[in-house]
Amino acid sequence: MRSLIALSTAVLLPAALATGPALAAPPAAAARTAAADVPTSTPGVAGWPDGKGFDVAYRTSKSTVSYRRLVGGVWAEPLNLNGRLVGGPAVTFAAGSPHVFGRGVDGRLWERVRVNGTWQPWTKVDDLVITAPPAAAGHPDGRVEVFVRDAADRLRTKTYTPATGWGSWTDLDVTADSAPAVAVTGTDAVRVVVTGRDHAVWTRTRTGTAWSDWTSLGESTYSAPGIAADAATGRTWVFVRNASTHRLRVRIFTGSWGDWQIMGGLYVDGPGASYAGGKTVVVGRGRDAAFWSRTVTGTTWTTDQRAWVPGPPPGVPSSLRGKNVTRIPTTAKVAALTFDGAWDAAGVSSIRATLQRENVPATFFLVGDFVRGFPVYSNLLAGSGFRIGNHSNTHPDFTKISDAAARTQVTDARTAIFNTNGAETRALFRFPYGAYTASDITLVNGLGHVPVGWSVDSLGWQGTSGGQTAAKVTARVLAAASPGMIVLMHVGANPDDHTTLDADALPQIIQGLRANGYSFTTLDALTP
The whole-number pLDDT of residue 264 equals: 84
Asked if residue 328 has pLDDT above 70, the reply is: yes
Q: Is the pLDDT of residue 38 over 60?
A: yes
Rounded to whole angstroms, the Cα distance separating 102 from 148 reads 10
Element (H, E) at 351: helix 348-358
**Residue 10 has what pLDDT?**
27
Res. 124 pLDDT band, cuts 50 70 90: very high
303 CB neighbour count, 10 Å cutoff = 9
Q: Give pLDDT, residue 311.
A: 83
pLDDT digits (tens, 9 = 90+) for 253-279: 999 999 999 998 999 999 999 999 999
Report d(CA 170, CA 471) in Å as an integer. 39
Helix (H, G, I), strand (E, B) or coil at 233: coil
Q: With CA atoms as reference, report the closest residue to 395 among 411, 413, 380.
A: 413
Answer whether residue 426 shows pLDDT above 80: yes
Does the structure show a pLDDT above 90 at 288?
yes
pLDDT of res. 29: 36
Separation in Å, CA 192 to CA 97, 157, 206, 465, 485: 22, 10, 8, 48, 42
Above pLDDT 70, what percent of the chain? 93
pLDDT at site 62: 80
pLDDT digits (tens, 9 = 90+) for 221-245: 999 999 999 999 999 999 999 999 9
Under the banding of pLDDT at 50, 70 and 90, the label for residue 313 is: confident
pLDDT band at 37; cut points 50, 70, 90? confident
pLDDT in tens, 334-344: 999 999 999 99
Per-residue pLDDT at 1 = 28
Q: Is the pLDDT of residue 23 over 60?
A: no
Query: pLDDT value at position 24?
Result: 33
CATH class of 33-306: mainly beta
CB atoms within 10 A of CB 359: 15
Q: Would the pLDDT of 392 be above 70?
A: yes
Instruction: Say how far apart CA 520 and CA 362 lie, in whole Å.
Output: 8
Judging by DSSP bridges, how do beta strands 519-521 and 334-341 pair with one another?
Answer: parallel
Q: How confident is the model at residue 528 (pLDDT cuts 50, 70, 90)?
A: low
Q: Is 221 helix (H, G, I), strand (E, B) or coil?
A: coil
Give which of 18, 5, 15 is closest to 322, Cα–Cα.
Answer: 5
Average pLDDT over the chain reads 92
8 Å CB contact between 386 and 361: yes
Instruction: State the pTM of this model.
Output: 0.92
CB atoms within 10 A of CB 213: 7
| Element spanning 383, H or E | helix 375-383
Q: Is it the case that residue 5 has pLDDT exceeding 90?
A: no
The CATH superfamily label for domain 318-526 reads Glycoside hydrolase/deacetylase (3.20.20.370)
Q: If pLDDT is split at 50, 70 and 90, which confidence band does 12 have?
A: very low
Helix, strand, coil share (%) of the chain residues, nearest 5: 20, 35, 45
pLDDT, position 395:
98
Break the chain into its structural domains and give their ranges: 33-306, 318-526
- Do 318-526 and 33-306 have the same topology in CATH? no
Residue 440 reports pLDDT greater than 50? yes
Q: Average pLDDT of 46-75?
A: 94
The Cβ-side half-sphere exposure at 483, using a 13 Å CA radius, reads 8
Confidence class for position 31, pLDDT limits 50, 70, 90: very low
Q: Distance between CA 515 and CA 2 in Å, rounded?
A: 44
* pLDDT exceeds 60 at position 300: yes
CA dist., res. 207 & res. 205, Å (int): 7
